[in-house]
């Protein structure tokens, strides 16, 4: 993390004043300077980067769960039960039963969730296996990339 001197902050303030021009109220200047300081402080020095969480710009952290298998009592209850336990927010769901085959799709927001993506994935897949379901879990972004121009 970079150490900021008083001189740096003065320089940032001058830069902010120049940028804001006529809109330079004390509050606005403070806001811009704070943002700049935050940027500097959170910059990762080269060579030390680690695998970070997938960035989800402006979309929250939404995943799509798809499950297929033979229709039976309790599929929806089992899947949603696991999600509720992990404080995942179900935004939308759609299901189809064709003769005895069952397909379900859930759009789930995991941003308020107590566990990370891998842990939720494992929990839901394990629950699905108990019911002989094939469960596939993916971040929503891939579908937006592939199916929206």
Partner 1 sequence: MPIALEEILETIRMTEVEHFDIRTVTMGINLKDCSSDSLAGLKKNIYDKIMRVASEHVATARKVESEFGISIANKRISVTPVSIAADGFYAEDYVEIAQVLDKAADELGVDYLGGFSALVQKGFTMGERNLIQAIPEALSQTKHVCSSINVASSKAGINMDAVRLMGEIVKQTAEKTADRDAIGCAKLVVFANVPEDNPFIAGAFHGVSEPDVVINVGISGPGVILRAVREAPQNMNFAELSDRIRRMAFKITRAGEFIGRTVAALQNVPFGIVDISLAPTPMPGDSVADILKAMGLEDVGASGTTAALALLNDSVKRGGLMASSHVGGMSGAFIPVSEDDGMIKAAQKGHITIDKLEAMTSVCSVGLDMIAIPGDTPASVIAGMIADECAIGISNNKTTAVRVIPVPGKKVGDVVDYGGLLGLAPVMPVSSLNNAMFINRGGRFPAPTRGVNN
Which residues contact partner 1 by CB under 8 A?
44, 46-47, 49-52, 54-55, 64, 66, 92, 94, 96, 103, 105, 107, 117-118, 121, 136-148
Q: How many residues would you count in the chain?
A: 149
Beta-bridge partners for 62: 109
Our CB check for partner 1 shows the closer of 77 and 145 to be 145
Q: How many CA atoms lie within 13 A of 142 on its CB side?
A: 7
- Distance between CA atoms of residues 48 and 9, nearest Å: 26
- Distance between CA atoms of residues 82 and 84, nearest Å: 5
CB 66 within 8 A of CB 125: no
Our CB check for partner 1 shows the closer of 26 and 57 to be 57
Our CB check for partner 1 shows the closer of 22 and 149 to be 149
In angstroms, what is the minimal distance from the CB of 61 to partner 1?
10
Our CB check for partner 1 shows the closer of 114 and 144 to be 144
In angstroms, what is the minimal distance from the CB of 114 to partner 1?
18
In angstroms, what is the minimal distance from the CB of 19 to partner 1?
27
Sole residue written with tokens 């804001």? 20
Our CB check for partner 1 shows the closer of 32 and 75 to be 75
In angstroms, what is the minimal distance from the CB of 11 to partner 1?
26
Element (H, E) at 139: strand 134-139
Backbone dihedral angles phi then psi of residue 97, each to the nearest 5 degrees: -120, 120
In angstroms, what is the minimal distance from the CB of 121 to partner 1?
7
- Distance between CA atoms of residues 141 and 147, nearest Å: 10
């Amino acid at each position: 993390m970079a150490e900021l001197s008083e001189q740096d902050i003065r320089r940032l303030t001058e830069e902010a004043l120049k940028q804001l021009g006529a809109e330079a109220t004390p509050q606005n200047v403070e806001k811009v300077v704070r943002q700049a300081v935050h940027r500097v402080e959170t910059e990762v020095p080269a060579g030390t980067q680690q695998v970070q969480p997938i960035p989800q710009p402006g979309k929250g952290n939404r995943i799509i769960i798809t499950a297929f298998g033979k229709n039976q009592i309790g599929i929806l209850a089992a899947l949603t039960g696991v999600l509720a336990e992990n404080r995942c927010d179900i935004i939308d769901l759609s299901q189809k039963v064709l003769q005895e085959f069952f397909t379900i799709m859930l759009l789930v927001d995991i941003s308020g969730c107590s566990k990370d993506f891998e842990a939720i994935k494992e929990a839901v897949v394990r629950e699905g296996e108990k019911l002989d379901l094939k469960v596939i879990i993916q971040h929503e972004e891939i579908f937006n990339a592939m199916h929206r121009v």
